[in-house]
Amino acid sequence: MDWVDATYRIESDLPVRKVAEIIAMEESTGTWTDVGTTHRDLTDVTAVVGDVDEKAKTAVVRYPIELFEVENVPQILSVIAGNLFGLEQIQKVRLEDVIFPRRIVRAYPGPRYGIPGIRDLIGSEDRPHVGTIVKPKVGLNPAETARVAYEAAMGGIDLIKDDETLTDQDFCRMVDRLPMVMEALDRVFEETGRNVFYAVNVTTGPEEIAERADLATKWGANMIMVDVLTVGYTGLLELRKNSSLPIHVHRAMHGAITRDPTHGISMKVISRLVRMMGGDQFHVGAITGKMDATPDEVLPLDKILTDEWFGLQPTFPVASGGLHPGCVVDEVKHRGTDIIIQAGGGIHGHPDGTRKGAMAMCQAAAAATMGQSLKEFAKGNYPELRTAIDKWGVGKKEDYYG
C-alpha cells in the first residue's frame, strides 16, 4: 500500500502518540463517538500512526493513498491539514512536512521549464540569476514602470517582476503596462543582445486567471507571476495547464501560515506543492535581508525545489526580502548558484540610480560565483559595487524601518 506520510509537531496536555491517534481518526474514518453506520472493514482508508518522538513532540500520521482523490489538491489538503487544527485536545499543531508517493507526485505536471529551461531562455550557465521588483511597489503608471524596467535591464539583471500587490489597478492597467515594459525589454535586447524576463502579475479569481494569462501572452509577455497562497494551488495548476509561459510564484500571505514554529503549516509543505503544481520559480526566503530566516530553515526548501523528485523539473529558488549587494556572497556561499537573487530597494535605492544599482548587484553575483571576497572584488573597476557597500555594508542585516 502507498502512504502519504505527514509529520506533525504537537503541543498538548496528552501524550504525543495519543494526539496522533486522534488526528489519524479525525482525518480518516473516525468520529468523536460510536456510530452504527460502519458495516464493513475500512482498513484501506484508515490512517495510522507511524514514528513518534515524545521528546521532540513530533509524530507521523500515515494516510493510505486510497483515502485521496490524487488529482484533487484541495481534497488532499483537507485531509492532511484539515479539522485537526481545531481539535480541542491540541493547544498547537504544525504540519512540518509531507512525503507524497510517486502516484500522487506524478499526477501533477511540475514545472514546464524549471531551472534548465529558464537558464536556456536566458542563456546562463553556472551563476545565480539576478532579479528586481519595480519600486515603488505600486503607484507608478505604465510608462514610468517601463522606464524603471529598462534601466534595471540595462544594468544587467535577468528578471523584472511586478510587486505582489500590483495586478490590474486603474493607475497601471496591465493592458497598458505589459506592452510598454516588453517594448523596453526589446530595446534592451537590440542594444545588448540579452534576454530579460518580465513576470507580469496575473493574480485574480479562478474564473479569470487563465484568461488573464492568455491575454498576457497575446500582449507579448515572456513570463507570468502568481501569488499562490491568495489564489490557491489550483490557480497555479490552472496556469501551468493552460499557459506556455514560465511561471514565477510569490508566497504573499505565507507568514500567517508558516511563521509560528509551533502552529500552522511549514514552508516545506508549500514548497512541495508549488513544485508539483508547476511553479518554475518560487520565493522561499533569504538568510540575509529583512525577513527572519536562517540557513537551517531555508536550505531544506532549496533541496525540496531542486533535488530529483520522481522526474519533475527543478524549481528555481528565489531569495528575496531586503537584499542588497552586500548580501549576495552569503546567499550564494550557503545556497550555491542555482538561485535567483531578487532585490527591490537594494537596486533602486542605489545612490546613483536603478541602472547602477543593478550593475552593483550583478557585480556582487559575479564575485560570489568566483568565490571572491566582496570587498576585495570591489577594489577592481567596480565603482557601482563600492558605492553599494558604502551605503549598506556587507553580509549584515540592517534596521530596515528604524
> Which pLDDT tens digit goes with each residue over 131-180?
999 999 999 999 999 999 999 999 999 999 999 999 999 999 999 999 99
Determine the number of helices (DSSP H) and then strands (DSSP E) in the chain. Answer: 17, 13
Q: Which residue has the higher pLDDT, 207 or 309?
A: 309
Q: Where are the domains of the chain?
A: 3-105, 114-392
Question: Is 375 one of the annotated active-site residues of the chain?
Answer: no
**398 pLDDT higher than 70:** no
Q: Which of 135, 248, 254, 283 is catalytic?
A: 135
**What's the pLDDT at 200?**
98
Fold of the domain spanning 114-392: TIM Barrel (3.20.20)
User: Does 250 participate in catalysis according to the annotation?
Assistant: yes
Band of residue 27 on the pLDDT scale cut at 50, 70, 90:
very high
Q: Which of 142-146, 221-225, 274-278, 394-398 has the lowest mean pLDDT?
A: 394-398
| Coil vs helix vs strand at 78 | helix
Is the per-residue pLDDT at 400 higher than 50? no
Give residue 289's pLDDT: 76
Whether residue 291 has pLDDT greater than 90: no
- Average pLDDT estimate for 197-212: 95
Whole-model pTM: value is 0.95
Beta-sheet pairing, 247-250 with 264-265: unpaired
Q: How many C-alpha atoms does 235 have within 13 Å on its Cβ side? A: 24
First to last CA, the chain: 55
- For the CA atoms of 139, 142, 145, 150, the dihedral, rounded to the nearest 10 degrees, stands at -170
- CATH of region 3-105: 3.30.70.150
For position 20, what pLDDT does the model report?
Answer: 97
For residue 35, pLDDT beyond 60: no
Same fold, 3-105 and 114-392: no
- Which of the residues 250, 254, 283, 350 is marked catalytic? 250
